Amino acid sequence: MTETSGLISLVSALAGARVLCVGDIMLDKFVSGEVERISPEAPVPVLRIARENAMLGGAGNVARNVVALGASVSLIATVGDDAAGEEIERLLLGLGHANPGLVIDENRPTAIKTRFLAGTQQMMRADWETTDALAEETGEAIIEAAQAALADHQVMVLSDYGKGVLGDGRAGRLIELAKAAGIPVVVDPKGRDYGVYRGADLVTPNRKELRDAAGAAATGVDEVISAAAAVRATSGLGAVLVTLSQDGMALVTEADSHHLAAEAQEVFDVSGAGDTVVASIASALAAGASLLDAARLANVAAGIVVGKVGTAAAYMAEVIATLHHQDISRAEAKLLSRAEACDRAEVWRCQGLKVGFTNGCFDLLHPGHVSLLAQARGASDRLIVGLNSDASVERLKGEDRPIQNEAARATVLASLQSVDMCVIFDEDTPLELIGALKPDVLVKGADYAMDQVVGAEEVKSWGGRVVLAELEEGFSTSATIARMAGDAS
């Protein structure tokens, strides 16, 4: 079995993995827009806001990445009794295979990090948080919740962002509990003293964090490996995995060391990449992988996530597609899930590209469809096609439709040069999908009046526009099917 095929088998096995994550959680907000002038009130740019997004940050992003890879996660953290805490719980529940174990502290606000972006440039970050020590009862509630959950999980992650959850010796107490239960511990560390994680099976610092912990320059890969070996030995750790950005990763154990070359083809945003690494390794270990194979999988996932915007996730399908890189067809690469499509659309927008959207059943593709798609692509820089699922088509068109199943229809659409992405949706209308993707251009055929176009008002509300494409006369799927039925009778 080749290394690649072995990793593909490993990804497929992640569905049975159960990860327990304990750490600091925050709400990451991204406020995006354009700067066209300087304020008359002060010499500062004026950001004209176009959209706002909220994502899970810190330990929440670890949980998001675990679920994206197909595993399940339980997350134990503390939030305030406020709107941001409620939003975090909603986002966690929305992941599907995540169990939120949030300890509410009424005297402590939920941490919020707000990033303001003009195009691709981050202008400023504003943090609303406290790093004071946790109240004793809050800390004990976290320990008790983790202890109760250990028996149902295969790996524990400690996600330390220095916000208090793992302070006051709680990291050490949690490691002792996990070791007593025979469960490996992976730590995303903070600070200079890694002795607080003594007994952990793996810590995952980046190059700067390793330098701080080792008190050494650690510039080249050989120096990194030497520094990691010293930190491992003096801090009583099982292994150290150092993320090195463009230089890949270095894995150092008691027995040996490995340098893994970087997998990223294009680095767009490194925010949250460390969370992806921790989630990937923990999920792989929970599925029974060796530490080296877990690190290799994490390297692939990190290469995917740095090509996205913000605290993003690497999805199972993306990882498998990357591992199949030499074999995957161009058409298959365009067929994305809703979550994957949202990530890709955000990258396109931040690259200054106009994202277009159109939708339909596209059952028996004909020249009228081809013309519509070509016009839609001409009105935008990248075109996303929303495709009604089989169940949706049947509800809209009748029990004898569709003629071709959704997989066949999606494959044909994705093979067209005018289509950059295809997303299947199960609702009767594409309104939810449009709301998630937030396209800049919405295209429908001119047989619709402007007030009949689903999503038109929503697209206009965020500054987008609606285009009615000219129709090719004489082409209709329903008419074609009727003629076929007539010929057969």
Give 43-65 pLDDT, tens digit per residue: 999 999 988 889 999 999 999 99
Neighbour-count burial of 368, counting CB atoms closer than 10 A to its CB (0-12 exposed, 13-18 middle, 19+ buried): middle
Exposure class string for 432-466: b at 16+ Cβ within 10 A, else e: ebbeebbbbbbbbbeeeeeeebebbeebeeeebeb
**Residue 28 clears pLDDT 50, i.e. is over it:** yes
With CA atoms as reference, report the closest residue to 183 among 154, 159, 158: 154
- The encoded tokens of residue 310 equal 């913000």
**Residue 174 clears pLDDT 50, i.e. is over it:** yes
* Confidence band for 364, pLDDT divided at 50, 70 and 90: confident
- The two beta strands, 45-58 and 25-38, are antiparallel
In the sheet that holds 239-243, the strands lie side by side as 98-105, 72-80, 18-23, 155-159, 185-188, 202-203, 239-243, 249-253, 257-260
Give 193-249 pLDDT, tens digit per residue: 999 999 999 999 999 999 999 998 888 899 999 999 999 999 999 999 999 887 889
Do 102 and 78 touch, CB atoms closer than 8 A?
Answer: yes
Half-sphere exposure of 222 (CA within 13 A, CB side): 0
Distance, in Å, from the CA atom of 51 to the CA atom of 463, rounded to the nearest integer, reads: 9
Which residues lie closer than 8 Å to 146 by C-beta, 6 or more apart? 20, 22, 76, 156, 174, 177
- The encoded tokens of residue 455 equal 């999503």
**Residue 146 clears pLDDT 70, i.e. is over it:** yes
Which residues lie closer than 8 Å to 134 by C-beta, 6 or more apart? 78, 105, 108, 142, 164, 165, 167, 168
Q: How many CB atoms lie within 10 A of CB 475?
A: 15
Give 331-358 pLDDT, tens digit per residue: 567 888 888 888 888 878 876 789 999 9
- The two beta strands, 441-445 and 355-360, are parallel
The dihedrals phi and psi of 212, each to the nearest 5 degrees, come to: -65, -40
Q: Domain 331-488 belongs to what topology?
A: Rossmann fold (3.40.50)
Q: Which of 24, 201, 269, 275 is catalytic?
A: 275
Which own/partner pairs from 229-237 qualify as long-range (CB within 8 Å, at least 24 positions apart)?
A: 229/257, 231/194, 234/195, 235/193, 235/194, 235/195, 235/197, 235/198, 235/203, 236/195, 236/198, 236/199, 237/194, 237/197, 237/198, 237/199, 237/200, 237/201, 237/202, 237/203
275 catalytic residue (yes or no): yes
**Residue 479 clears pLDDT 60, i.e. is over it:** no
Q: Give the DSSP H/E element, type plus range, for residue 157.
A: strand 155-159
- The encoded tokens of residue 466 equal 């609606």
Mean of pLDDT values over 291-302: 91
Q: Domain 3-28+53-107+132-328 belongs to what topology?
A: UDP-N-acetylmuramoyl-L-alanine:D-glutamate ligase (3.40.1190)
Distance, in Å, from the CA atom of 472 to the CA atom of 445, rounded to the nearest integer, reads: 10
Distance, in Å, from the CA atom of 60 to the CA atom of 163, rounded to the nearest integer, reads: 14
Furthest-apart CA atoms within the chain: distance in Å: 84
Mean of pLDDT values over 253-264: 85
- The encoded tokens of residue 285 equal 């270990």
Residues of the chain with CATH 3.40.1190.20: 3-28+53-107+132-328
Distance, in Å, from the CA atom of 87 to the CA atom of 79, rounded to the nearest integer, reads: 10
Residues of the chain with CATH 3.40.50.620: 331-488
For the entire predicted model, the pTM comes to: 0.71
